[in-house]
Protein backbone atom coordinates (compact mmCIF):
# COMPACT_ATOMS: atom_id res chain seq x y z
CA UNK A 1 0.00 0.00 0.00
CA UNK A 2 2.74 2.41 0.89
CA UNK A 3 4.43 1.62 -2.34
CA UNK A 4 1.34 2.71 -4.29
CA UNK A 5 1.23 6.02 -2.44
CA UNK A 6 4.83 6.69 -3.24
CA UNK A 7 4.15 6.01 -6.87
CA UNK A 8 1.20 8.43 -6.82
CA UNK A 9 3.21 11.08 -5.03
CA UNK A 10 6.09 10.67 -7.49
CA UNK A 11 3.67 10.97 -10.41
CA UNK A 12 2.24 14.14 -8.92
CA UNK A 13 5.71 15.61 -8.47
CA UNK A 14 6.61 14.77 -12.06
CA UNK A 15 3.41 16.49 -13.24
CA UNK A 16 4.20 19.54 -11.11
CA UNK A 17 7.69 19.73 -12.55
CA UNK A 18 6.42 19.38 -16.12
CA UNK A 19 3.71 21.99 -15.61
CA UNK A 20 6.18 24.40 -13.99
CA UNK A 21 8.61 23.92 -16.84
CA UNK A 22 5.85 24.63 -19.35
CA UNK A 23 4.92 27.93 -17.70
CA UNK A 24 8.56 28.92 -17.36
CA UNK A 25 9.19 28.30 -21.06
CA UNK A 26 5.94 30.11 -22.03
CA UNK A 27 6.84 33.18 -19.99
CA UNK A 28 10.34 33.19 -21.46
CA UNK A 29 8.97 33.17 -25.01
CA UNK A 30 6.55 35.98 -24.18
CA UNK A 31 9.40 38.06 -22.77
CA UNK A 32 11.47 37.39 -25.89
CA UNK A 33 8.60 38.41 -28.17
CA UNK A 34 8.00 41.60 -26.19
CA UNK A 35 11.69 42.41 -26.24
CA UNK A 36 11.94 41.80 -30.00
CA UNK A 37 8.86 43.91 -30.67
CA UNK A 38 10.19 46.70 -28.51
CA UNK A 39 13.53 46.52 -30.26
CA UNK A 40 11.84 46.48 -33.66
CA UNK A 41 9.67 49.42 -32.67
CA UNK A 42 12.71 51.30 -31.47
CA UNK A 43 14.61 50.53 -34.65
CA UNK A 44 11.70 51.47 -36.86
CA UNK A 45 11.18 54.81 -35.17
CA UNK A 46 12.52 57.43 -37.55
CA UNK A 47 15.11 59.74 -36.22
CA UNK A 48 13.97 63.27 -36.92
CA UNK A 49 16.21 64.94 -39.44
CA UNK A 50 16.50 68.53 -40.51
CA UNK A 51 14.80 68.84 -43.91
CA UNK A 52 17.03 69.97 -46.73
CA UNK A 53 16.01 73.46 -47.75
CA UNK A 54 16.56 74.60 -51.31
CA UNK A 55 17.79 78.18 -51.17
CA UNK A 56 15.15 80.46 -52.58
CA UNK A 57 16.14 82.50 -55.58
CA UNK A 58 14.83 86.05 -55.29
CA UNK A 59 12.39 86.94 -58.03
CA UNK A 60 13.68 89.77 -60.14
CA UNK A 61 10.74 91.92 -61.18
CA UNK A 62 10.37 92.35 -64.91
CA UNK A 63 10.74 96.04 -65.73
CA UNK A 64 7.77 97.64 -67.36
CA UNK A 65 9.20 98.63 -70.70
CA UNK A 66 7.00 101.34 -72.14
CA UNK A 67 7.80 102.18 -75.69
CA UNK A 68 7.96 105.83 -76.54
CA UNK A 69 4.68 106.75 -78.14
CA UNK A 70 4.78 107.85 -81.75
CA UNK A 71 4.87 111.65 -82.03
CA UNK A 72 1.70 113.45 -83.05
CA UNK A 73 3.46 116.73 -83.80
CA UNK A 74 6.84 117.35 -85.42
CA UNK A 75 8.74 120.28 -86.89
CA UNK A 76 8.42 121.02 -90.62
CA UNK A 77 12.16 120.72 -91.19
CA UNK A 78 15.11 119.15 -89.40
CA UNK A 79 17.10 121.30 -86.95
CA UNK A 80 14.23 123.75 -86.73
CA UNK A 81 15.56 125.87 -83.87
CA UNK A 82 19.03 126.34 -85.32
CA UNK A 83 17.57 127.41 -88.67
CA UNK A 84 15.31 130.14 -87.25
CA UNK A 85 17.87 132.92 -87.09
CA UNK A 86 16.92 136.14 -88.86
CA UNK A 87 13.56 136.55 -90.59
CA UNK A 88 11.30 135.55 -87.72
CA UNK A 89 7.58 135.87 -87.11
CA UNK A 90 6.43 139.46 -86.47
CA UNK A 91 9.65 140.94 -87.91
CA UNK A 92 8.82 144.29 -89.50
CA UNK A 93 10.43 145.46 -92.75
CA UNK A 94 10.00 148.94 -94.14
CA UNK A 95 9.55 149.30 -97.89
CA UNK A 96 12.56 147.85 -99.70
CA UNK A 97 13.94 146.17 -96.59
CA UNK A 98 12.81 142.56 -96.73
CA UNK A 99 15.16 141.42 -99.48
CA UNK A 100 18.33 143.32 -98.71
CA UNK A 101 20.07 140.08 -97.78
CA UNK A 102 18.52 138.20 -100.69
CA UNK A 103 19.76 140.79 -103.18
CA UNK A 104 23.30 139.94 -102.08
CA UNK A 105 22.62 136.34 -103.11
CA UNK A 106 20.10 136.72 -105.92
CA UNK A 107 20.21 139.91 -107.95
CA UNK A 108 16.58 139.58 -109.05
CA UNK A 109 15.11 139.01 -105.58
CA UNK A 110 11.78 140.78 -104.99
CA UNK A 111 11.34 143.37 -102.22
CA UNK A 112 8.54 143.05 -99.67
CA UNK A 113 7.52 145.16 -96.69
CA UNK A 114 5.35 144.78 -93.60
CA UNK A 115 5.11 142.31 -90.73
CA UNK A 116 6.39 138.85 -91.51
CA UNK A 117 3.58 136.29 -91.03
CA UNK A 118 5.87 133.28 -90.84
CA UNK A 119 9.30 132.11 -89.79
CA UNK A 120 12.09 131.62 -92.34
CA UNK A 121 14.15 128.49 -91.76
CA UNK A 122 17.58 128.88 -93.31
CA UNK A 123 19.82 126.29 -94.93
CA UNK A 124 23.55 125.82 -94.54
CA UNK A 125 26.21 126.33 -97.18
CA UNK A 126 26.69 122.56 -97.32
CA UNK A 127 23.00 122.15 -98.18
CA UNK A 128 23.16 124.45 -101.21
CA UNK A 129 23.20 121.51 -103.62
CA UNK A 130 21.50 118.94 -101.39
CA UNK A 131 17.87 117.88 -101.13
CA UNK A 132 16.43 119.37 -97.96
CA UNK A 133 13.09 117.69 -97.21
CA UNK A 134 10.10 119.28 -95.50
CA UNK A 135 7.51 117.40 -93.48
CA UNK A 136 3.86 117.33 -92.47
CA UNK A 137 3.86 118.58 -88.88
CA UNK A 138 0.77 116.50 -87.99
CA UNK A 139 -2.00 114.51 -89.60
CA UNK A 140 -3.75 116.82 -92.02
CA UNK A 141 -5.15 117.47 -95.48
CA UNK A 142 -3.36 119.04 -98.42
CA UNK A 143 -5.38 121.99 -99.74
CA UNK A 144 -3.13 123.46 -102.40
CA UNK A 145 0.00 122.64 -104.38
CA UNK A 146 0.90 125.35 -106.87
CA UNK A 147 3.37 127.93 -108.15
CA UNK A 148 2.84 131.31 -106.48
CA UNK A 149 4.63 134.57 -107.25
CA UNK A 150 7.29 135.27 -104.64
CA UNK A 151 7.22 131.70 -103.31
CA UNK A 152 8.07 129.55 -106.28
CA UNK A 153 6.38 126.36 -105.15
CA UNK A 154 3.81 126.55 -102.33
CA UNK A 155 2.14 123.73 -100.41
CA UNK A 156 -0.86 124.50 -98.19
CA UNK A 157 -1.95 121.95 -95.57
CA UNK A 158 -4.74 122.20 -93.01
CA UNK A 159 -4.11 120.82 -89.52
CA UNK A 160 -5.87 120.61 -86.18
CA UNK A 161 -3.29 121.54 -83.56
CA UNK A 162 -4.16 121.46 -79.88
CA UNK A 163 -7.86 121.42 -80.71
CA UNK A 164 -7.73 124.42 -83.07
CA UNK A 165 -7.67 124.57 -86.87
CA UNK A 166 -4.65 126.04 -88.63
CA UNK A 167 -3.66 126.40 -92.26
CA UNK A 168 0.05 125.87 -92.83
CA UNK A 169 2.05 127.44 -95.66
CA UNK A 170 5.25 125.84 -96.92
CA UNK A 171 6.93 128.31 -99.28
CA UNK A 172 9.93 128.14 -101.66
CA UNK A 173 9.33 124.48 -102.54
CA UNK A 174 10.60 122.68 -105.62
CA UNK A 175 7.34 121.60 -107.27
CA UNK A 176 9.11 118.81 -109.12
CA UNK A 177 9.92 117.22 -105.76
CA UNK A 178 6.37 117.33 -104.38
CA UNK A 179 5.14 113.93 -103.19
CA UNK A 180 1.53 114.85 -102.37
CA UNK A 181 -1.43 116.38 -104.17
CA UNK A 182 -4.36 118.58 -103.27
CA UNK A 183 -7.10 116.76 -101.39
CA UNK A 184 -4.76 114.08 -100.09
CA UNK A 185 -4.52 113.24 -96.40
CA UNK A 186 -1.04 113.20 -94.91
CA UNK A 187 0.34 111.67 -91.73
CA UNK A 188 2.59 113.24 -89.14
CA UNK A 189 6.21 113.35 -90.29
CA UNK A 190 5.39 112.48 -93.90
CA UNK A 191 7.77 113.99 -96.45
CA UNK A 192 5.93 116.55 -98.57
CA UNK A 193 8.69 117.83 -100.86
CA UNK A 194 12.16 119.38 -100.93
CA UNK A 195 13.28 122.99 -100.93
CA UNK A 196 13.82 124.73 -104.25
CA UNK A 197 17.26 125.53 -105.61
CA UNK A 198 18.71 128.89 -104.62
CA UNK A 199 17.98 131.84 -106.95
CA UNK A 200 15.69 129.79 -109.19
CA UNK A 201 12.07 130.07 -110.23
CA UNK A 202 11.54 126.91 -108.17
CA UNK A 203 12.05 128.88 -104.96
CA UNK A 204 10.91 132.33 -106.09
CA UNK A 205 14.35 133.67 -107.06
CA UNK A 206 15.48 133.93 -103.47
CA UNK A 207 17.94 132.34 -101.04
CA UNK A 208 17.33 128.67 -100.27
CA UNK A 209 15.10 128.47 -97.19
CA UNK A 210 11.67 127.38 -95.96
CA UNK A 211 8.98 129.99 -95.37
CA UNK A 212 6.65 128.39 -92.81
CA UNK A 213 3.48 130.16 -91.71
CA UNK A 214 0.41 129.16 -89.68
CA UNK A 215 -2.88 130.95 -90.31
CA UNK A 216 -5.57 130.64 -87.65
CA UNK A 217 -8.57 128.86 -89.16
CA UNK A 218 -9.28 127.10 -92.43
CA UNK A 219 -9.28 130.03 -94.85
CA UNK A 220 -6.52 130.08 -97.46
CA UNK A 221 -4.76 133.43 -97.21
CA UNK A 222 -1.50 133.58 -99.15
CA UNK A 223 0.33 136.49 -97.61
CA UNK A 224 3.94 136.47 -96.48
CA UNK A 225 3.66 139.97 -95.04
CA UNK A 226 0.81 142.10 -93.70
CA UNK A 227 0.67 145.83 -93.26
CA UNK A 228 -0.71 146.06 -89.71
CA UNK A 229 -0.51 144.36 -86.33
CA UNK A 230 -4.24 143.72 -86.37
CA UNK A 231 -3.82 141.66 -89.54
CA UNK A 232 -0.91 139.81 -87.96
CA UNK A 233 -3.24 138.72 -85.13
CA UNK A 234 -4.80 136.24 -87.58
CA UNK A 235 -1.50 134.37 -87.71
CA UNK A 236 0.25 132.24 -85.08
CA UNK A 237 3.92 132.35 -84.24
CA UNK A 238 5.03 128.92 -85.55
CA UNK A 239 8.05 128.69 -83.26
CA UNK A 240 6.09 129.40 -80.08
CA UNK A 241 3.07 127.29 -81.03
CA UNK A 242 5.02 124.19 -81.99
CA UNK A 243 7.19 124.42 -78.89
CA UNK A 244 4.18 124.89 -76.59
CA UNK A 245 2.43 121.87 -78.13
CA UNK A 246 5.49 119.67 -77.67
CA UNK A 247 6.66 119.19 -81.25
CA UNK A 248 9.60 116.82 -81.71
Q: Note the pLDDT of residue 99.
A: 54
Kindly report, residue by residue over 102-117, the tens digit of the pLDDT. Answer: 655 676 777 788 999 9
Kindly report, residue by residue over 15-70, the tens digit of the pLDDT. Answer: 655 666 555 455 545 555 554 554 444 444 455 555 566 666 667 666 666 667 88
Residues near 132 by beta carbon (within 8 Å), at least 6 away in sequence: 77, 123, 194, 195, 208, 210
Percent of the chain with pLDDT over 70: 69
Other Cβ atoms within 10 Å of 177 Cβ, number: 18
User: Dihedral angle at the C-alpha atoms of 130, 88, 158, 241, nearest 10 degrees?
Assistant: 120
Kindly report, residue by residue over 207-216, the tens digit of the pLDDT. Answer: 899 999 999 9
Q: Note the pLDDT of residue 26.
A: 52
Closest CA to 155 of 165, 141, 56: 141
97: number of CA atoms within 13 Å, CB side? 11
Kindly report, residue by residue over 145-189, the tens digit of the pLDDT. Answer: 999 998 999 999 999 999 999 999 999 999 999 999 999 999 999
- How would you classify the pairing of strands 92-93 and 185-186? unpaired
Q: How confident is the model at residue 235 (pLDDT cuts 50, 70, 90)?
A: very high
Q: Note the pLDDT of residue 42.
A: 44
Cα–Cα dist 239/247, whole Å: 10
Amino acid sequence: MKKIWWIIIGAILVCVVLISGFFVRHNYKNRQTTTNQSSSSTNSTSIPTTPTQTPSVPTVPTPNLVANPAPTLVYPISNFSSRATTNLFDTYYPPGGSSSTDRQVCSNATYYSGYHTAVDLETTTAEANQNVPIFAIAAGTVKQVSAVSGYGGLIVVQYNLGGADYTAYYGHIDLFSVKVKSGENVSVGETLASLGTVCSSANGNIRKHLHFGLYKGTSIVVSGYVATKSELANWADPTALLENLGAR
